[in-house]
Amino acid sequence: MPELPEVETTRRGVEPHVVGKAVTEVVVQDARLRWPVPPDLSRTLSGQTIIAVTRRGKYLLFRTTRGILLVHLGMSGSLRVVSAGAPRLPHEHVDIVLGAVAMRLRDPRRFGAVLYTEDEAMAHPLLRGLGPEPLSREFDATYLHRQSRGRRGAVKSLIMDARTVVGVGNIYANEALFRAGIRPGRAAGRLSRNDCDRLVKAIVATLEDALREGGTTLRDFVNGTGEPGHFAFNLRIYGRTGEPCCTCGTRVRATRIGNRSSFFCSSCQR
């Protein structure tokens, strides 16, 4: 599931192949993504040169002098660079063709998005209101502590809420809480200042470790050049229901929080 490490891995993978190139055309095989791919996208984008590839949360931003192509990978999306005109496999819905190469979006579950805006980036409705980047200085214990005050909901839901901090999805939320020794169901408002400090450090460390491994591939994810990520081997708690905790041997328990599967060690996490 693309979370920050997967999206950033994708960004790094495609960036060198697309910056400085002009869009030749956009070929849409199936426009039915989370929102329809704009019908005039090919006409709008053709001729525009990509000057930078940035990321905000889980959104990829392909900047041109005129506007921004926004790409979100949803939960099963992947974007890779292929030869223009390479045979299309199932679920490969959109090609952003740049001369001899193309960025190709594959998205079996079609929860992803391909949009275009000429607004200033952060004014876009999907980007406005996003919380800080987890790997920025702004995301620290003081900030998280302040955000958590008065919250009776689960801390796991709080850190997965993009208004609190971007880029943390279900897998890394589970992993970070395990590393911090905090139960996912704990009321956010009951976190001590020290809990927040450990949790922020755990989130940062988890994301950085995953980034180093090129992200997590459970099923669909591949990077900008089609390679899977290897962090799945490092998952300590996610998906390990019934297995012994890697730290203390207690059986890993599963529960649902905010309609998302959650895993924890009842001994290591309080």
Partner DNA sequence: AAATTCTCCTGAAGGC
Partner DNA sequence: TGCCTTCAGGAGAATT
The phi, psi pair for 214, rounded to 5°, reads 80, 20
DSSP state of 178: H
Could you give the strand order of the β-sheet that contains 59-64, starting from the edge strand earlier in sequence? 50-56, 59-64, 68-72, 113-117
* Smallest separation, CB 252 to DNA (Å): 13
Element (H, E) at 148: helix 141-148
* Smallest separation, CB 30 to DNA (Å): 8
Binding site for DNA (CB under 7 A): 1-3, 32, 34, 57-59, 72, 74-76, 90-91, 108-111, 126, 150-154, 157-158, 160, 162, 169-171, 188-189, 219, 256, 258-261
Q: Which is nearer to DNA, 169 or 214 (CB)?
A: 169
* Smallest separation, CB 34 to DNA (Å): 6
On whether the CB atoms of residues 48 and 118 are closer than 8 A, the answer is no
Residues 6+ apart with CB under 8 A from 259: none
* Smallest separation, CB 99 to DNA (Å): 30
On whether the CB atoms of residues 135 and 95 are closer than 8 A, the answer is no
Q: Which is nearer to DNA, 87 or 90 (CB)?
A: 90
Query: How far, in Å, CA of 104 to CA of 61, rounded?
Result: 15
Q: Which is nearer to DNA, 42 or 147 (CB)?
A: 147
Q: Catalytic annotation on 58?
A: yes
Q: For the chain, first and last CA: distance in Å?
A: 27
Query: How far, in Å, CA of 240 to CA of 246, rounded?
Result: 10
Bridge partners, residue 244, by sequence: 251
On whether the CB atoms of residues 33 and 113 are closer than 8 A, the answer is yes
* Smallest separation, CB 207 to DNA (Å): 13
Q: At CA 59, angle to CA 58 and CA 63, rounded to 5? A: 150
Chain centroid, CA 17 distance in Å? 21
Q: Which is nearer to DNA, 23 or 237 (CB)?
A: 237
Q: Catalytic annotation on 260?
A: yes
Q: Which is nearer to DNA, 7 or 45 (CB)?
A: 7
Catalytic residue among 56, 58, 183, 186: 58
Q: Which is nearer to DNA, 17 or 58 (CB)?
A: 58
Catalytic residue among 34, 109, 201, 260: 260
Catalytic residue among 2, 5, 134, 184: 2
Joined together, the tokens standing for residue 238 give 């996610």
Query: How far, in Å, CA of 143 to CA of 129, rounded?
Result: 16
* Smallest separation, CB 151 to DNA (Å): 4
Active site residues: 2-3, 58, 260
